Amino acid sequence: MVYGIGVDIVSIDRIAKSLEKESFIKRIYGADEIALFVSENKIKTNSLAANFAAKEAFSKALGTGVRGFDFDEVQILRDSLGAPYFKFGGRAQQIVESKKLECKVSLSHEKDKAVAFVVIEVK
Ligand SMILES: CC(C)(COP(=O)(O)OP(=O)(O)OC[C@H]1O[C@@H](n2cnc3c(N)ncnc32)[C@H](O)[C@@H]1OP(=O)(O)O)[C@@H](O)C(=O)NCCC(=O)NCCS
C-alpha cells in the first residue's frame, strides 16, 4: 500500500554555493554520501543537489516535512548500476522501521535544476 509520495526541485547553483561551506556539508550529508560525492579535488555538485532534493522529497512523502529527524540521517547512495537508494540512520531509521516503510527514490538533473521523486510504501 502507498503510504505517501513526495517531490522536490532545487537550484543546483544555490546548493553549489552552500557546498562551499563545510558546515553545510556536515549538517546535510552523511558519512557515506560524503565518501561517495566529496573528494579533495572534486565535489559532485549535481548529485549532491539531487540528494538534497531527495531528502526534502522524503520528508514530504512522510507528510511531516523535515521534522523529527536530521538531514544527514537520510542518505541517498547509488548501487552498482548507478540507481539511487536510501540508507537511513538515527531517528529517520527509527521512523522508517517503526512504521515498516519501504522508501524508493528517483533523481534527475538538467541545467540549473535537480529533482527528486520519492514513493513510500508500507511493507
Ligand atoms: C516540507 C518542506 C521540505 C518543503 O520544502 P520547500 O523547499 O520549503 O518548499 P517546496 O516549494 O519544495 O514545497 C512546498 C510544498 O511542499 C508541500 N508541503 C508542505 N508541507 C508539507 C508536509 N508536511 N508534507 C508534505 N508536503 C508538504 C506543500 O504542497 C507546499 O506547497 P504549497 O505551499 O503550495 O502548499 C519544508 O517545509 C521543510 O521541512 N524544509 C526543511 C527546512 C529546513 O530545515 N531547511 C533548511 C535546509 S538548509
Predicted pLDDT of residue 85: 98
- How many domains in the chain? 1
d(CA 30, CA 99): 22
Which one is catalytic: 42, 60, 104, 123? 60
Predicted pLDDT of residue 41: 87
**Cα 82 to ligand 1 centroid, rounded to whole Å:** 27
The x, y and z cell numbers of residue 91, run together, are 531517528
Active site residue 17: no
Please say whether the beta carbons of 49 and 109 come within 8 A: yes
- Select the more confidently predicted residue: 119 or 40: 119
Indicate which atom in ligand 1 lies nearest the CA of residue 24.
Answer: 48
Question: pLDDT tens for residues 28-86?
Answer: 999 999 999 999 889 999 999 999 999 999 999 999 999 999 999 999 999 999 999 99
What residues line ligand 1, using a CB cutoff of 6 Å?
8, 56, 59-60, 63-66
Domain that holds residue 10: 2-122
Predicted pLDDT of residue 40: 87
Predicted pLDDT of residue 6: 98
Question: pLDDT tens for residues 3-31?
Answer: 999 999 999 999 999 999 999 999 999 99
Active site residue 111: no
Question: pLDDT tens for residues 80-117?
Answer: 999 999 999 999 999 999 999 999 999 999 999 999 99
CATH of the domain at 58: 3.90.470.20
